[in-house]
């Protein structure tokens, strides 16, 4: 993922001291004056749910109103998307989920229970890199060695994913397309079972979220080959990006974002964005999110929309070229 300049991660304290990120006067504002329902399209306890609860806890304190997280999972996140797409555009029902899934779903599924262009983008919230890892029993120790071995042994290596069309699956399909590789896909029901299969040696390589991989790298039970994003992760700065390691231009990540229902007025979208941006600029919120392995992001709705369109085009082209179908 290559973020526009104004969507770069919030890393430098001086950059936060801008009028845009000044705490809004919630008590006098038109919004919110009652509890806000924040729909998470994934089960409780997952990475999206944990991230959203950190952010909304701050927002509730700043606003003096409740921000109630409601988990509506199913159908690869699209059930939650559909619920918010049918809600009133009054700012009291919002969606917080993975932008990666939202960008992929229209291309992956034959039909959707909502108009994929209907939801109003508020902002990217955070991003987390994936890490390509290998089982330590494999005869290669770095990414270049992996490329050489995979090219010399087409079809011999297998890789795990969280399921057909999941971000780990598509990241590997992109890798194979760009590098000219042939590997066997072994889908699992979620990221945790895929990681366990990797640890058990059922598969040879897989993409996992960096925060999941780090303890296993330290224990020597996973061998790092590279990071999927354009920049290295501060969680493991010694691990090169895949672009650095031998595949220029490769970029993939798991992105988290917030959306509003259709017909939400632009001034209200602006107020909601400011509330999220203020939360993401708070040092305590940032520290907690970075501890979860995600990097906070703030970008205005129009910038997010442009990025979203690029992501949709990128993954849509890959899905068509590789003939990928939802599981």
Mean pLDDT, each 10-residue run in order, the chain (327 residues): 46 31 45 96 83 96 95 83 94 90 83 81 92 97 98 97 87 97 92 90 94 92 96 92 97 93 95 96 95 85 88 94 85
Question: In Å, what is the CA distance from 216 to each residue of 220, 275, 289?
Answer: 6, 36, 20
Contact 102, 311 (CB under 8 A): no
Measure the CA–CA gap between 87 and 262, rounded to whole angstroms: 8
pLDDT at residue 223 in the model? 97
The sign of the CA dihedral 131, 292, 48, 305 is negative
pLDDT at residue 288 in the model? 94
Among the listed residues 121, 65, 66, the one whose alpha carbon sits nearest the alpha carbon of residue 97 = 121
- If you count DSSP H runs as helices and E runs as strands, how many of each does the chain have, helices first? 11, 10
Measure the CA–CA gap between 268 and 90, rounded to whole angstroms: 8
Transcribe 86-138 into DSSP letters. Answer: TS-SSSSEEEEEEHHHHHHHHHHSS--SS-TTTSEEEEEEEEEEEEEEE-TTS
Q: What percent of the chain has pLDDT over 70?
A: 91
- Residues near 23 by Cβ (< 8 Å), separated by ≥ 6? 62, 278
The H or E element spanning position 320 is helix 301-322
Contact 209, 47 (CB under 8 A): yes
- Residues near 133 by Cβ (< 8 Å), separated by ≥ 6? 198, 205, 206, 207, 208, 213, 216, 217, 222, 223, 224, 225
Measure the CA–CA gap between 172 and 225, rounded to whole angstroms: 13
pLDDT at residue 305 in the model? 86
pLDDT digits (tens, 9 = 90+) for 97-150: 888 888 888 888 878 878 877 899 999 999 889 999 999 999 999 999 999 999
pLDDT at residue 327 in the model? 62
Measure the CA–CA gap between 295 and 192, rounded to whole angstroms: 21
Contact 82, 92 (CB under 8 A): no
pLDDT at residue 27 in the model? 37
Q: Which domains does the chain have, with CATH numbers?
A: 5-128+253-322 (3.40.190.150), 129-245 (3.40.190.10)
pLDDT at residue 22 in the model? 38
Transcribe 232-267 into DSSP letters. Answer: --TTSTTSPBHHHHT-TT---EEEEEEEE-TT--HH
Question: In Å, what is the CA distance from 131 to each residue of 150, 209, 210?
Answer: 18, 6, 5
Among the listed residues 95, 217, 225, 115, the one whose alpha carbon sits nearest the alpha carbon of residue 171 = 225
What average pLDDT does the structure give for the chain?
87
Among the listed residues 78, 129, 107, the one whose alpha carbon sits nearest the alpha carbon of residue 254 = 129
Contact 198, 133 (CB under 8 A): yes
Alpha helices (H) along 109-209: 143-152, 167-179, 191-200
């Amino acid at each position: 993922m290559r973020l526009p300049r104004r969507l770069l991660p919030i890393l430098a304290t001086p950059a936060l001291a801008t009028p845009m990120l000044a705490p809004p006067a919630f008590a006098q504002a038109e919004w919110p004056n009652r509890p806000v329902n924040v729909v998470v399209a994934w089960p409780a306890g997952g990475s999206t749910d944990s991230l959203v609860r950190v952010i909304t806890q701050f927002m509730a304190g700043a606003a003096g109103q409740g921000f109630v997280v409601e988990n509506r999972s199913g159908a690869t996140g699209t059930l939650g998307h559909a619920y918010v797409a049918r809600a009133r555009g009054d700012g009291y029902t919002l969606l917080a989920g993975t932008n990666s899934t939202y960008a992929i779903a229209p291309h992956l599924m034959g039909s959707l229970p909502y108009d994929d262009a209907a939801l109003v983008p508020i902002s990217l919230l955070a991003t987390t890199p994936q890490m390509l890892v290998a089982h330590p029993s494999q005869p290669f120790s770095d990414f270049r060695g992996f490329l050489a071995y995979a090219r010399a042994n087409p079809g011999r290596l297998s890789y795990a994913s969280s399921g057909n069309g999941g971000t780990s699956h598509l990241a590997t399909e992109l890798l194979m397309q760009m590098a000219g590789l042939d590997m066997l896909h072994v889908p699992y029901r979620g990221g945790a079972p895929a990681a366990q299969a990797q640890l058990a040696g059922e598969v040879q390589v897989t993409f996992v979220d960096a925060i999941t991989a780090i303890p296993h790298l330290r224990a020597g039970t996973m061998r790092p080959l590279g990071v999927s994003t354009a920049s290295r992760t501060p969680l493991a700065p010694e691990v090169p990006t895949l672009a650095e390691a031998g595949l220029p231009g490769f970029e993939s990540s798991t992105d988290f974002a917030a959306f509003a229902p259709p017909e939400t007025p632009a001034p209200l979208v602006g107020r909601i964005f400011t509330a999220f941006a203020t939360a993401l600029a708070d040092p305590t919120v940032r520290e907690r999110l970075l501890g979860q392995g995600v990097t906070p992001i703030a970008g205005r709705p129009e910038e997010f929309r442009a990025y979203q369109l690029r992501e949709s085009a990128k993954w849509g082209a890959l899905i068509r070229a590789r003939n990928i179908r939802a599981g």
